[in-house]
Amino acid sequence: MEEQKHWVHDYETLANCFVAVFEHYKKDEKRIFVIHELRNDFVEFTNFLRSNKKNKEWHISYNGISFDSQITEYILRENYVLSVMSPEDVARHIYLKAQETIERSNTRQWAEYSERNLTITQLDVFKLNHWDNPAKRSSLKWIQYSMDWHNLKEMPIHHATEIKTLEEIHMIIDYCINDVQSTKAIMKLSSKQIALRAQLTKEYKINLYSASEPKISKELFLYFLCEASGENKYDLRQQRTHRTSIKFKDLVLPYIKFETLPFQNLKKVFEEVVLNPENTKGGFKHSIKYKGVKTDFGLGGVHGARKSGVYKSENGMLIISSDVVSYYPNLAIRNGWAPAHLPKDIFCRQYEWFFNERVKIPKSDPRNYVYKIILNSTYGLSNDKHCYLYDPEFTMRITVNGQLSLMMLYERLAEEIPGCMPLMQNTDGVEMMIPEEHKQQYMDICADWENTTKLKLEHDEYSKMIIGDVNNYIAIPKDPKKEAKCKGRFEFKNLALHKNKSFLIIPQAIYNYFVNDIPPEKYLMENRNIFDYCGGVKATGAWDFQKISVVQAVADDYKDYTQDQKVSYLKANGWEQSWDDDNWVKSDAENKEANTGINTDSAFLHSIKKHAVINREKLQKTIRYYISEKGAKISKVNRNDLREIQIEAGPWLQTDFSKYEKKEWVEYGINDKFYLSKIYNEIHHVLPVPSNQYDLFED
């Protein structure tokens, strides 16, 4: 990006008011425009937009290509008509255009103005990060939460509201400024990705400024295929191979052979599958139990893990991890597979070229990352009906043989190495515990497998594996220079922003317990980052969040009840006396034996909870909170049927922390018991408490 005045921006369109906030992408310089009867900046705003166009200044936004840029284009194209209107009418016309734009997006129609036809160049961090993908879809508020933004502020005024005061306008401006500054922060976090896309755009003359990784893969592979084949881009984009059915038996490679009955049966199960690619939901699932490990197979890959526990390289045992290098791409490359509608020799030659070039280039070179994107995304795009690479048989050929080939390696290692203990298998690799003296035999089997499959394995050794299950584990490399691998619930470093990072203190403490022998209590005492204690939740549709707090636990009517009145109240409200006059049980209780009840005062207080004075406060749709000793209950409440779901079940109270406040640690009132209970639940899942320890809790 050249040193120009590019602008991060955000628009708010209300029934009779339009607000635009721009901030320089590097400096604090701002431009604020309002179109309303109390303040009319229409001329200044359109002059600013013309200046952006003239000086080739970019607009940087969150979801701007689908929304803000459409408004910009409308204003520029309809400038003559709008310029003779009153500010009230201009704002209303913009509002109607905004609602039309949102409706087009909601109904998955193409935007009125395509990106290539926009007057001002756009950089959309929403699209760039692929947060428009259903699996990663994230609002700006959610990303604000994920990056610990100081204020998860939502629009304080509904878009259909008639704005009447300057105070309301200033509220909208403040909201816009918060959104702009958080978008600017996302832009900075994405700086390497932006620089890469600028470089690719310049090199290949394809607009990739706001392209997601799959789009980069799609566009560059298309570019190279057209260069190699001489085909026209438009013609190639229209091509697909549609299938009515796929017989797995026709896909299995000739070298797939097994020696044991469980895997011979597995191969038969695969070969019996006839898949309808138009409806793959539940299309194939199968599991086997072998050597103490349950392994699951599906359309996408294989996963299996030994029972939860801590496995160490000690007492003459090694933990070896073996992963297939660029597994799915190389299966296609080594076996000469291609989508049926593409020239096989050209596709395979180009695909292999990407792989070979990546091997030559250091990881620090941006091209290494680009080739990695192309290699990995091509497999996924072959199952995308909207892509010119679409051929579901190509996809299934890779996944079927990927699973069966890996199981050939798994079977040989487990069968031929004395004392071998399988720990884990996933889509592209295995982890095994073997006696140290059989390491060379392990490597020889792997080399033989490589020779058969023409694929390559990379090996590593772990000093320890902490396994919760197949999706949740920690692997500690023997080499202290290498980083530990944390997956699933145990993951806490460098999380992708679309993921839920709630209560990071929990996986951090678990990691330090298992890896560094730090007791959770000590770790909590040492970690004073309030954001690590926070969780995030979002409500959609008819659901809202409410903060529910008890204003008065005992209503005035019951404050001065005598003991006799309490007894009468209990008898009239579903209680009865048990073995003593001061011992009460519920009338419908299953077990009414002696010593199971509670005294009169406790039963009375429990019974009159329903009469307590409660305050309900509506919260915003995305909130950040932590568990506190003194707080309130936050529940998700359905506006239609009034159903309530507590965001944290049980006795735990929460404090809404959507707006950051710096305090002395003790003032936050963190409830350590909640976090410790969660931490120890995970620890005991991995290392169950020995049965004799439960004796400690018996009388």
For the chain, give the mean pLDDT.
93
Answer whether residue 250 shows pLDDT above 70. Answer: yes
β-strands 534-538, 622-628: how paired?
antiparallel
Domain count, the chain: 2
What contacts 203, CB < 8 A, 6 or more positions away?
none
Task: Give the number of other CB atoms < 10 A from CB of residue 119.
Answer: 15
When mean pLDDT is compared across 196-205, 453-462, 532-541, 583-592, the lowest value belongs to: 583-592
Backbone angles phi, psi at 282, to 5 degrees: 65, 20
Higher pLDDT, 360 or 692: 360
Distance from C-alpha of 310 to C-alpha of 290, rounded to nearest angstrom: 20
User: Which whole number is the average pLDDT over 604-623?
Assistant: 91
Q: Which amino acid is at 252?
A: V
Report the pLDDT value the prediction gives residue 187, as an integer from 0 to 100: 97
In a domain, 293, yes or no: no
Residue 504: CB atoms within 10 A of its CB come to: 19
Residue 395 falls inside a structural domain? no
Assess if residue 462 is contained within a domain.
no
Assigned domain for 625 exists? yes
**Residue 126: its H or E element:** helix 125-128
Residue 351 within any structural domain of the chain: no
* pLDDT on residue 698: 35
The residue type found at 311 is Y
Instruction: Please compute the mean of the pLDDT values over residues 31-40 and round it to a whole number.
Output: 98
**Confidence band, pLDDT 50/70/90 cuts, at residue 31:** very high
Residues 158, 164, 169, 171, CA torsion sign: negative
Of the residues 194, 210, 226, which one is the last residue of a structural domain? 210
- Domain of 117: which CATH number? 3.30.420
d(CA 541, CA 306): 40
Using N-to-C axis directions, what is the helix angle for 344-360 and 366-381, rounded to 10°?
Answer: 150
Contact of 578 with 561, CB cutoff 8 Å: no
For residue 595, pLDDT over 90 is answered with: no
> Which pLDDT score, from 0 to 100, does residue 690 have?
53
Query: The dihedral of CA 271, 274, 276, 281: what is its sign?
Result: negative
Give the Å distances, CA to CA, from 147 to 229, 282, 496, 535, 599: 45, 36, 10, 12, 50
Q: Note down the domain range covering 540.
A: 532-553+612-683
Q: How far is CA 503 from CA 472, 618, 656, in A?
A: 16, 23, 14
In this prediction, residue 694 carries a pLDDT of 35
CB neighbours of residue 47 within 10 Å = 11
Distances (CA, A) of 96 to 37, 157, 172, 424: 17, 17, 18, 56
For residue 281, pLDDT beyond 80: no
Q: Residue 411 is encoded by which pair of tokens?
A: 């079977």
Q: What is the pLDDT of residues 54-113, one digit of tens each?
A: 999 999 999 999 999 999 999 999 999 999 999 999 999 999 999 999 999 999 899 999
CA distance 303 to 430: 10
pLDDT grade, residue 693 (50/70/90)? Answer: very low
* In-domain check, residue 638: yes
Q: Which pLDDT belongs to residue 688?
A: 76
- Tell whether the model's pLDDT for residue 697 goes beyond 70: no
Question: Over the stretch 470-524, which tens digit does the pLDDT of each residue have?
Answer: 999 999 999 999 999 999 999 999 999 999 999 999 999 999 999 999 999 999 9
Q: What is the pLDDT at residue 691?
A: 44
Report the C-alpha gap between 140 and 183 in whole angstroms: 8
- What are the residues facing 535 on neighbouring strands? 625
Write the CB contacts of 624 (distance below 8 Å, at least 6 apart in sequence): 145, 152, 534, 535, 536, 656, 657, 658
More confident residue, 434 or 284: 434
**Is 667 a member of any domain?**
yes
The residue count of the chain comes to 699
623: how many CB neighbours lie within 10 A of its CB? 24
CA 551 to CA 549: how far, in whole Å? 6
pLDDT at 628 over 70: yes
- In this prediction, residue 3 has a pLDDT band, given cuts at 50, 70 and 90, of low
Residue 214 tokens, joined: 């799959």
* CB distance 274 to 245 below 8 Å: yes
**pLDDT value at position 280?**
77
Q: How far apart are CA 83 and CA 92, in angstroms?
A: 13
Region 119-127 average pLDDT: 97
What does the block give as tokens for 497? 């922003």
Q: Is residue 258 part of a domain?
A: no
Asked whether the predicted pLDDT for residue 1 surpasses 70, the reply is: no
Q: Judge whether residue 699 has pLDDT over 70.
A: no
Res 593: pLDDT: 64
